[in-house]
Structure 1
Amino acid sequence: MAYPRKLLNQGEELVLDLRPHWLAVAVPTLVLVVSVVAGALVTLLADIDALSLGALVLIVVALIYFGIKVLGWSTTNFVLTTDRLISRQGVLSKSGIEIPLERINTVFFNQSLFERMVGAGDLALESAGERGNQSFSNIRKPALVQREIYVQIEANENRKFDRMGPAGGRGLSSAEQLEKLHDLVTKGAITPAQFEAEKARIFGA
């Protein structure tokens, strides 16, 4: 299920909308296959009705388990927009987290040898706020996702910096412009070098 476009803010664009990697449903799939094969063999080779019934129950349970996991997989979104990182999951009851890009400090990824072979891995974020560390499992091509997050963080910072340019500061006193710049650099929205360059522009240095 795709992330609903109606939940995007005005001017916000969708960059990535990912399902978890198929590794997330690998175990349920294996359990289902083994259950079906074992159940079929028992039904064909055993003459005891109780064993055949038990095999049928095993298959039904495995099928239900598989269905629940696949449904959870299909309703889990890892979304990157031009403003936010969003994780949502759930069918009837939903849960999720949204992290503004300007609050993200560092992005890590981790892959085992097997995960590198199949293109899966885990992402970890360090961000400002109460829940400073967040981890996400079974991300598709985590190295590319990490790079795209940094690209969008930089683009987001540049947009905010542009709004603080001559047009963005029009009508504000030098002190007010400096205060807004200081707020941006404190939040990490612009770099100290950008702060100094804009400060020099304001005071005509």
Structure 2
Amino acid sequence: MSNTLYEAHPSVLRMRPFGVLFALVLIAGGILVAVLGDQLLPPQFTGQVDGRILQMIGIGVFALATLQLLGWWVSARADRLVITEDELIWTHGLLSKEYTEINMASVRTVRVSQSLFQRIMNAGDVTVFTAGDNPELFVRGLPDPTAVRELVKAQPQAGG
């Protein structure tokens, strides 16, 4: 069996930094509202709003933000890219799995795309082309995508 040169899951924090930050703020705010309730209201609204309703709203905000973060995390953990000396192996799925194996010798081009925020977070999208114009593999949000490109370029290619 070949040595593993690279193994990574897409990164939630690196791909959605503002979404994760916003969800964490909502979680903290939900806890604050659920615990303190009507103590957060100005004095003129104290008698008009029921504290139990505020607690339910806080719990609801907390639950929704937590579920969103959990969904992003599970989605990222369900995907994995492994690069060995001989092949690229992309695994996708949680309950049902989809495997894509590409022989390293058949890789023609590796394209790395990074937005400004992806560059800051050292993440990016990797596209692998073999034969033809359509990509064989497209992976979003990998940490250190230039390492993927360099690892593939360093491997012996077909006819070389």
Q: Which AA in structure 1 matches 2:5?
A: V
| Matched residue, 2:65 | 62
Q: Which runs of 5+ in 1 are unaligned?
A: 1-10, 158-188, 192-205
| Matched residue, 2:24 | 33
Q: Which runs of 5+ in 2 are unaligned?
A: 42-48
Larger Rg over CA atoms: 1
Given candidates 92, 100, 105, the residue that maps to 1:102 is 105
Select the structure that is richer in helix.
Answer: 1
| Superposition deviation, residue 133 in structure 1 | 4.1
Structure of greater relative contact order (alpha carbons < 8 Å, 6+ residues apart) = 2
| Matched residue, 1:146 | 149
| Matched residue, 1:12 | 2
Equivalences, count = 147
| Superposition deviation, residue 109 in structure 1 | 0.9
Select the structure that is richer in strand.
Answer: 2
Q: Which AA in structure 1 matches 2:31?
A: A
| Matched residue, 2:159 | 190
Secondary structure of 1:149 counterpart:
helix
**TM alignment of 1:119-130, pairs within 5 A:** 119-128=122-131
The two structures, once aligned, show a CA RMSD in angstroms of: 2.4
Secondary structure of 1:107 counterpart:
strand
| Superposition deviation, residue 86 in structure 1 | 1.1
TM-score, normalization: structure 1?
0.62
